């Protein structure tokens, strides 16, 4: 009797599948995003909001509504940058957009032990992880874009046959344009020396202010220095921070020339006899020591 009851008490299997959620992306916002993240361009990214780990990569392709696009010439905009045009055809509705990057990236091997440990803990490019892309800066603004690792894939056919890539799901609404020097500027008046490609000799300068990875340097006694500098040029700075007996030697690139001053994005710091990638700990140390300046500086 119990057996019969058990048979009749079994629920019938529910064959109904939940309705798929229809996603429609903001076309105008996507049109705004594309110039900052063009195919073939170098970019930087950090995983799981860990900005102390910046990794270099490159955009191989887009994945738009399931179609792989390898060339910027196949993508354009119309209707005052409101509508995306794909292979000459306006797209009425964009249901999915992804950016494809390589699974192997340039500077991972250059990370120090601490950074590698943090990268491993964060999972890096693991499925489901948040990956923040840093794109091509424009008019003093830097584009940041939060993406999610959807999956790994192996490209088939064409020039990238068998290349393994990471598919990063993109919501254009998450594009954020940040001021290149949005961090609070820490005023300073620290004497130092600058070396440029044209002027390899150490030339006196003054560190005027510091914010995150950037520093403003004034060359009042030699205006030829900033006049000869070009955006993107590599330079070396040497200066002594308050309460520091040894000189700090740092390398970076010029991001702005302003009269007798130049703004430099710092990339590396000399530790011992070698230059290493500038870390968040280095930045904290610089800020801490700058705050030890006399009040009447």
Residue 166 reports pLDDT greater than 80: yes
Residue 233 reports pLDDT greater than 60: yes
* pLDDT tens digits, one per residue of 247-266: 889 999 888 887 778 888 88
Which is it for the CA torsion 189, 191, 197, 198, positive or negative? positive
The pLDDT value recorded for residue 72 is 94
Q: 230, 253 in Cβ contact below 8 A?
A: no
Three-class secondary structure of residue 184 per DSSP = coil
pTM of the model as a whole: 0.62
DSSP classification of residue 102: E
Which of 8-12, 23-27, 119-123, 284-288 holds the top average pLDDT?
23-27
Domain 186-290 has CATH 2.40.10.220: yes
Residue 100 reports pLDDT greater than 90: yes
The pLDDT value recorded for residue 94 is 93
Confidence of residue 21 (pLDDT cuts 50, 70, 90): low
What gap in Å lies between CA 10 and CA 155, rounded to an integer?
46
The pLDDT value recorded for residue 180 is 60
What gap in Å lies between CA 189 and CA 148, rounded to an integer?
43
Show the CA angle centred on residue 41, arms to residues 102 and 100, nearest 5°: 35
Q: Where are the domains of the chain?
A: 27-179, 186-290
What is the number of other CB atoms lying within 10 angstroms of the CB of residue 236? 19
* pLDDT tens digits, one per residue of 60-84: 999 999 999 999 999 999 888 889 9
Three-class secondary structure of residue 289 per DSSP = helix
Q: 47, 119 in Cβ contact below 8 A?
A: yes
């Amino acid at each position: 009797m119990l057996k019969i009851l058990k048979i009749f008490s079994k629920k019938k299997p529910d064959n109904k599948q939940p309705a798929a959620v229809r996603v429609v992306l903001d076309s105008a916002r996507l049109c705004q995003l594309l110039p900052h993240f063009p195919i073939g361009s170098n970019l930087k990214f950090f995983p799981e909001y860990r900005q102390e780990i910046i990794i270099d990569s490159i955009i191989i392709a887009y994945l738009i509504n399931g179609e792989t696009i390898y060339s910027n010439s196949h993508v354009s905009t119309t209707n005052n940058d409101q509508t995306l045009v794909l292979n000459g055809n306006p797209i009425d509705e964009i249901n999915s957009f992804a950016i494809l990057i390589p699974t192997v990236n340039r500077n991972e091997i250059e990370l120090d032990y601490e950074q590698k440990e943090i990268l491993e803990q964060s999972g890096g490019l693991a499925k489901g992880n948040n990956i923040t892309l840093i794109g091509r800066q424009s008019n003093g603004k830097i584009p940041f874009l939060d993406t999610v690792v959807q999956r790994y894939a192996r490209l088939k056919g064409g020039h990238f046959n068998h290349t393994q890539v990471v598919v990063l799901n993109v919501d254009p609404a998450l594009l954020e344009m940040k001021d290149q020097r949005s961090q609070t500027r820490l005023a300073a008046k620290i004497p130092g020396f600058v070396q440029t490609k044209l002027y390899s000799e150490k030339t006196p300068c003054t560190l005027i202010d510091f914010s995150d990875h950037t520093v403003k340097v004034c060359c009042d006694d030699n205006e030829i220095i900033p006049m000869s500098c070009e955006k993107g040029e590599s330079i070396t700075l040497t200066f002594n921070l308050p309460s520091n007996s040894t000189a700090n030697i740092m390398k970076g690139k010029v991001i702005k020339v302003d009269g007798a001053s130049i703004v430099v994005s710092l990339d590396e710091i000399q530790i011992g006899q070698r230059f290493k990638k500038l870390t968040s700990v280095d930045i904290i140390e610089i800020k801490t020591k700058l705050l030890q300046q006399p009040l009447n500086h």
